[in-house]
Structure 1
């Protein structure tokens, strides 16, 4: 049916419609007649449908009200009164995305699914959640998700607890997050952007339940909503549902109004702030410097894209002019540029890491001098063209990793729509690109630099200084504050606080009634395919090399992966092997200096990356195949240029550039250091598994704590050892890039494949071809039970063992156990009751079983929860419909849509893992046929694994030291 503007459809008026060539969609902009609710429908042939409802939610303070409410509305509603509808959907839907997100100015509730019935179910649960949450009659939701005074025994000290409170303690433990928060607070003192929408842990306990409810009444209304639909759904059907099921029942109110514009500063300002480091940590080289510029309005599509490109040009790589200039001063070890275009007044920021107090003067001068020089002399034309080509490649490829395309478009739409402008402004990028291309050689970017950076007074330099003892000091302040509170309370008041705490625990421990559970919509298990969908793959030998081709439509892009076996590299060289993957591409070659190399990569390809992947054998315990992987993407017509660059990078990288080596080392160390604060759960998982298997110990040598220590030693002794580092890297490179150890994976058209084959005929003879014996990659394994202490204020707790080593056989039905453990037992015990932000259970084909927590306030209590997991499984009971839910939730993870590049990588990886379609089909059926008996049978497996008592904990040094008797060793990770 053809829809006509100004006509009424199912309670909505069609305001406008337009064809958006860039994503092959028709955009329909509607307005709900009764409430004024805005709706944008991006209609196309994508079966991965997306729905979201977004509310403008400007925070008035830093209590984290928008964030706490985001968590809380998903804890039960009018139609779905179970305590955790969100978790029920994780168990029982085939969602391809399910989450909620708090931004500085809005709160978004997106879902996605490829199944129409499932999609409608997801929409209904989310709409009921946001409009009719249980928060009004269940204050326990606020106390659980936000904060509460926790007192289980009268003699205990009072503590703060709450999921968001602990999540933000974790976020505020990361110096880069602290810096980002301070930048926004300083740049926007008079608008909502000056407040922390996620919540400052020092301020969160000031939030009252009454203010919490009032915020929902004020902002969670159709008149303040932005509804988005994407994909191949039925437009009129979805409009009718939205109107009849929800919108028609509301009366219009005034919307939230404008966010407000921060008046520009009269002149740039400088502010000093602090962040905590460990008691034994050296403060030298731990200062963070930033210079941030408030630019234009995010509603200007061309400027938005151009400033994003400019930030990329100036500071997105070590070869970028700002990065290069700052690194050459020696004042810092790593530099990053950021463009935040998600807020009304976008910000360009330059960050220098691992600097020192006093360096800010040279930092500012270097940036301004560099910018003035670029305006005066002009930007390098190859650099500009490379940035344009790189941006266009990424925009056209539309590969957004784990996020559905439709959700990425949704986020782009909100950058203009939230502020009253056309939602398609940022989707229709071709016109902007054409103008930028046409004017790039006429001073376009130089004018941007002059106007938005050099002549701009709305600038803040923020210096974030390390402070020893700050963390303990803040802990002491909180403890004294709570002790003072306790001393001021009467016995009756303390007993009431205890009663409230125990009541909250009782509510959390009380299961939902079967009647309420049955109200949740469930996708019939008959909607789940019983057979796998094989990924096309052709394997053949040519010129002594194995070719793996995936004939998949890629819109004219060649996806190429060169896999070099590295199982001949001895243990003592693994650190150098890993360093090599960081160095190649960041250093010069015989034909290019590293600046020109970066420009050439961006001009002619979609990116070239090196990594080390480890492929465990699905049919043999602790057999693994490590490979150095060169990953490249390129338009078919530029395949020749790609191979010219690959020859330079792999065979002619200079091994004598001392300064570049030093900069790469320092940058690699800086990024690895930050991982301890941002992805602590991954560090813990890798570390505890390294006690148990050669595979995981190998992974530690090339990327975990062991690798961090390795590069830290190289950095500390650089002047004495740099020549030796080059000698070792060159020896390793010569050994690795060998035709006899190469396998080639290609995803794309046959025409694209023929182009790759032609180039490889010239490339292969340039590689060595010397046989080499496999190295002895066995390690001395032993349980260590380490505490890895950092200045962070939360913990990451992990416990693991390999079940195959205990004589247990892996069965795919254990993936259903993973769903049960993650969405029931661990969710309830570690997140809901314990206050951690997350908890995980994983088990793999090779037998590795792991339980972990994320941003957790607890240590011993969480380990106890892990130890009781077997008991929970022994007593597990479920009827057929409940089991079907867990199975559907498990299948959702298996059937996630993949891009062509992801499909090629997945299928090639399975080939290396000894996983064929027959095994995948067998595993699929094992999951679909999983029974209660299978789950109960897993109890012994889990119990046996936990009894081995192999664990690792990372984070809050005070809590780790308090439980020092638990650990075999406590590592002060940042101490020199």
Structure 2
């Protein structure tokens, strides 16, 4: 027994180089896992099984609300304050369909223990029992300024879900779950439906917390090199020891009884100006067996890959010759009690539903009868194996990922440690390649499986407008039926909430939160030294580090050899590479070879600015790849094949791919708008911004739409143009290599890397001096598919003679985490708000899923007054500095380190640049921040506005805009 915990199991898990402990707390039955290793990026998480009983979003709103102050830390919004000033590499919480998870990661031992205490007090002793304004702020509330004003609804989660549920994919998914799991918690929208969120009351909110937030229903996770004894002592002494065991009847039953032949149709909203043709989503969805069957779960991932998700997938290939839809997507979910596989035909017409279903079953039966091509299975397994061994999780800490991996198995009563192992499962899958194992699974779990549902989503013109009008009338009716006393009460409660939101935390309260001192921060900045070499006139840039026996091979091609009018074709080229046939491979065979022999090849367009001349841009295509050393030669052969031998004249395939790209961009621009807004806004202020819009923003979207609409008449020109720019870009005179690898592999790399030369042309094109005229406008992007806004205001400080310094980042942290967070999220109800003040000169204030528009712009403009009036103590400045340091020193993967080192060298940043910036951050004080007031004032005065949002809201504020663009 260690601090009240009994050790149940201890196991060395070689796959993750960790010793894993499973404990049970004797007094409460709380379970705890510690994954112990040498990683200093430690993770803590506490999770609870939280089962919704309606669409009121109670679990989601509670996730927000417990983070708004606790008994020991009675601070308003402690997590906002911690995110403003901690060294955490991750700090957040998540609501799933059957669980709520509270994780954080930090590399600092002192902070890790302090934040663990904050998290535990938050979940067990939240302030919302006595402070009713927390539920109102985070969930929903009636807002009324005076007797004559209209009654409205506001709240952070309420607005968040208005944005989240605008997506047809989100709506389709919710209908699928409701159809397939009618007797389980999965039929509910755990995030909440705004129409039902407004039914949630304070008493049931408290009851939900009492029912689920108890140690006996908790799953505690620890990861990294922290002191296990101290961790267990804190958890037990400060919290668990104060509770007794509680029995929970919260098991999630299996959906064993189900209706046969479920076939349902639902509507989603499109603009009144849109055509209904080819806007339907047709899906078939199967419930598989329990997710605790780890072998079957792994096999289903392979089957999803083989049938639907990979480039050469069986069903995807069969559909490519049909005119039934513009895209075909699949998803496999193994996180619920039962697994679920979904296949979706995107931008179709419901008249093709039976054709689609017939083809699916014909192909499944044919696959079972004739067998799956072995290379398809091998490719899927190889891809899975490479990424499991690499353990690079796109910036997320390993601890966070491992926590998510084990939770399903753990919460459903199975051995969680098994979820961290993969060697036996990989061996098992490889053994089954030459058998009919996968075909039998398809037969049993798809062809003969009646636990399925066909769900079709069809477009309805103006549905969102009708829903918003109905909501407006409903609120008018509610107000009309209120007594004068009720109206007065709502007015009073609105004012009281505002008082609560604007009341400042006292110094005594703030002092309770853990805070590092600057002495706890290592002043030494990280360095990423690049070793240059030249072999046969090829520039090679090495970054040596431990890579777990992987070579990262990156090619950089200068695209300034392409005329300005053809820039969008560069991005189209990167979208098409690997998706078309080549001289020696069909595209599906090519995909198999890449996945069997490598860790994948990626293609991206980008634009860098030189330090000393930001108007002199460096546009590039970057080809990123990774491989184990013994297969480097094969990787180079495959990259070479793609860049030299891609066939652009398969017009049928080319047309399908352009339609698919358009379909994806239609979704991205029509239903969310985040990337559209920030990319487009940057085009107002710099050449790189204009370039970015042409390759990845609204201008690229317009380019793709035009190609799609004119394809039949322009297909030869399109193919010719792609071939032409490919030959110009992929030239021996036009590239550099950057590699991240271990020193032992340097000689091998030198021998093999030069072989890329034979795949490159010898074209020597003149580099173009792009004009890239900035088109500064105040633009409104109007969507009839969303009820909220993303609001942006921006400028470029380099236009006014200012140069970047480290204190800008502290100022940015202050504006984002203090001013915008308080005024737009806490008081305004927007789901998110942040600022950007980056090294390229770009300044931006923004909000996300915001119910307001003009009001938000007014808040943006008052930021100068805030800077002028704010009087932060040195302790608060220290908090901001620490938070800033955490944003610039997040742990990076070896590959990312190498790419950053190369970029710094390429754009002319000196070796000590990162040290200079870190010193300036650490030396920031209140006076330096105040000195930037004049710059911010100048930027606000000369700023431009961009809004993505509800069409009606934008048109109501048309005086703000020079141009309004209708997206649908």
Q: CA deviation at 1:381?
A: 0.7
Q: CA deviation at 1:770?
A: 3.1
Structure 1: segments with no counterpart, 5+ residues: 1-7
Name the structure 2 match of 1:904. Answer: 898
Name the structure 2 match of 1:133. Answer: 126
Name the structure 2 match of 1:501. Answer: 494
Please tell me whether residue 149 in structure 1 is matched to residue 111 in structure 2.
Answer: no
| 3-state DSSP of counterpart to 1:724 | helix
TM-score by length of 1: 0.98
Contact 2:643 2:759 (C-alpha < 8 Å) held by counterparts: no
Work out the CA distance in 2 between the residues paired with 1:677 and 1:716.
18
Work out the CA distance in 2 between the residues paired with 1:419 and 1:678.
35
Aligned pairs for 1:532-543 (under 5 A) are 532-543=525-536
Q: CA deviation at 1:759?
A: 2.4
Change (3 A) 1:678 1:80: farther
Tell me which of 768, 775, 784 is aligned to 2:761. Answer: 768
Aligned pairs for 1:406-425 (under 5 A) are 406-425=399-418
Tell me which of 941, 955, 961 is aligned to 1:947. Answer: 941
Name the structure 1 match of 2:741. Answer: 748
Work out the CA distance in 2 between the residues paired with 1:924 and 1:625.
26
Name the structure 1 match of 2:335. Answer: 342
Name the structure 1 match of 2:800. Answer: 806
Contact 1:53 1:228 (C-alpha < 8 Å) held by counterparts: yes
Contact 2:163 2:849 (C-alpha < 8 Å) held by counterparts: yes
Please tell me whether residue 929 in structure 1 is matched to residue 923 in structure 2.
Answer: yes
Tell me which of 861, 872, 879 is aligned to 2:866. Answer: 872
Please tell me whether residue 307 in structure 1 is matched to residue 300 in structure 2.
Answer: yes
Name the structure 2 match of 1:481. Answer: 474
Contact 1:565 1:628 (C-alpha < 8 Å) held by counterparts: yes
Contact 1:147 1:164 (C-alpha < 8 Å) held by counterparts: yes
Aligned pairs for 1:459-608 (under 5 A) are 459-608=452-601
- Count of matched residue pairs: 967
Please tell me whether residue 53 in structure 1 is matched to residue 46 in structure 2.
Answer: yes
Work out the CA distance in 1 between the residues paired with 2:862 and 2:134.
26
TM-score by length of 2: 0.99
Name the structure 2 match of 1:833. Answer: 827
Tell me which of 75, 88, 92 is aligned to 1:95. Answer: 88
Q: State which drifts further: 752-761 or 665-674.
A: 752-761
Name the structure 2 match of 1:704. Answer: 697
Tell me which of 111, 115, 120 is aligned to 2:113. Answer: 120
Q: CA deviation at 1:629?
A: 0.7
Name the structure 2 match of 1:966. Answer: 960
Work out the CA distance in 2 between the residues paired with 1:760 and 1:574.
29
Q: CA deviation at 1:266?
A: 4.6
Name the structure 1 match of 2:841. Answer: 847
Work out the CA distance in 2 between the residues paired with 1:858 and 1:590.
54
Tell me which of 59, 68, 79 is aligned to 1:66. Answer: 59
Aligned pairs for 1:308-457 (under 5 A) are 308-457=301-450
Q: CA deviation at 1:154?
A: 2.3
Q: CA deviation at 1:257?
A: 2.2
Contact 2:527 2:914 (C-alpha < 8 Å) held by counterparts: no
Tell me which of 926, 932, 937 is aligned to 1:938. Answer: 932
Aligned pairs for 1:632-711 (under 5 A) are 632-676=625-669, 680-711=673-704
Q: CA deviation at 1:264?
A: 4.4
Work out the CA distance in 2 between the residues paired with 1:885 and 1:76.
18
Work out the CA distance in 1 between the residues paired with 2:838 and 2:550.
33
Once the two structures are superposed, what CA deviation does each residue of 1:586-618 show, in whole Å capped at 9, x if it has no partner?
Answer: 001011111101111111111011111211223
Once the two structures are superposed, what CA deviation does each residue of 1:618-659 show, in whole Å capped at 9, x if it has no partner?
Answer: 332322211101110111111111111111100000121111
Contact 2:3 2:236 (C-alpha < 8 Å) held by counterparts: yes
Name the structure 2 match of 1:5. Answer: none
Contact 2:365 2:447 (C-alpha < 8 Å) held by counterparts: yes
Once the two structures are superposed, what CA deviation does each residue of 1:665-691 show, in whole Å capped at 9, x if it has no partner?
Answer: 111112222222565232111111212
Contact 1:170 1:855 (C-alpha < 8 Å) held by counterparts: yes
Please tell me whether residue 214 in structure 1 is matched to residue 207 in structure 2.
Answer: yes
Name the structure 2 match of 1:625. Answer: 618
Work out the CA distance in 2 between the residues paired with 1:561 and 1:423.
37
Q: State which drifts further: 268-277 or 912-921.
A: 912-921
Work out the CA distance in 2 between the residues paired with 1:357 and 1:793.
27
Contact 1:822 1:841 (C-alpha < 8 Å) held by counterparts: yes
Name the structure 2 match of 1:82. Answer: 75
| 3-state DSSP of counterpart to 2:113 | helix
| 3-state DSSP of counterpart to 2:172 | helix
Q: CA deviation at 1:265?
A: 2.6
Q: CA deviation at 1:278?
A: 1.5
Contact 2:83 2:883 (C-alpha < 8 Å) held by counterparts: yes
Contact 1:681 1:797 (C-alpha < 8 Å) held by counterparts: no
Q: State which drifts further: 322-331 or 494-503.
A: 322-331
Name the structure 1 match of 2:853. Answer: 859
Once the two structures are superposed, what CA deviation does each residue of 1:843-881 show, in whole Å capped at 9, x if it has no partner?
Answer: 111211011111111111111111111111111211111
Work out the CA distance in 2 between the residues paired with 1:766 and 1:88.
54
Structure 2: segments with no counterpart, 5+ residues: none
Work out the CA distance in 2 between the residues paired with 1:111 and 1:272.
41
Q: CA deviation at 1:513?
A: 1.0
Work out the CA distance in 2 between the residues paired with 1:601 and 1:521.
49
Once the two structures are superposed, what CA deviation does each residue of 1:441-473 show, in whole Å capped at 9, x if it has no partner?
Answer: 101111111111111101111111111110000
Work out the CA distance in 1 between the residues paired with 2:238 and 2:760.
65
Contact 1:875 1:936 (C-alpha < 8 Å) held by counterparts: no
Contact 1:310 1:445 (C-alpha < 8 Å) held by counterparts: yes
Please tell me whether residue 724 in structure 1 is matched to residue 697 in structure 2.
Answer: no
Once the two structures are superposed, what CA deviation does each residue of 1:340-359 show, in whole Å capped at 9, x if it has no partner?
Answer: 11111110111111111222
Once the two structures are superposed, what CA deviation does each residue of 1:195-241 show, in whole Å capped at 9, x if it has no partner?
Answer: 11100111111111111111001100001000000111122221111
Name the structure 2 match of 1:3. Answer: none
Work out the CA distance in 1 between the residues paired with 2:546 and 2:310.
31
Work out the CA distance in 2 between the residues paired with 1:678 and 1:615.
29
Aligned pairs for 1:779-818 (under 5 A) are 779-790=772-783, 791-818=785-812
Work out the CA distance in 2 between the residues paired with 1:752 and 1:452.
45
Tell me which of 750, 755, 766 is aligned to 1:757. Answer: 750
Work out the CA distance in 2 between the residues paired with 1:781 and 1:556.
46
Tell me which of 870, 882, 888 is aligned to 1:888. Answer: 882
Work out the CA distance in 1 between the residues paired with 2:876 and 2:767.
49
Q: CA deviation at 1:258?
A: 0.6
Contact 2:331 2:342 (C-alpha < 8 Å) held by counterparts: yes
Work out the CA distance in 2 between the residues paired with 1:766 and 1:600.
18
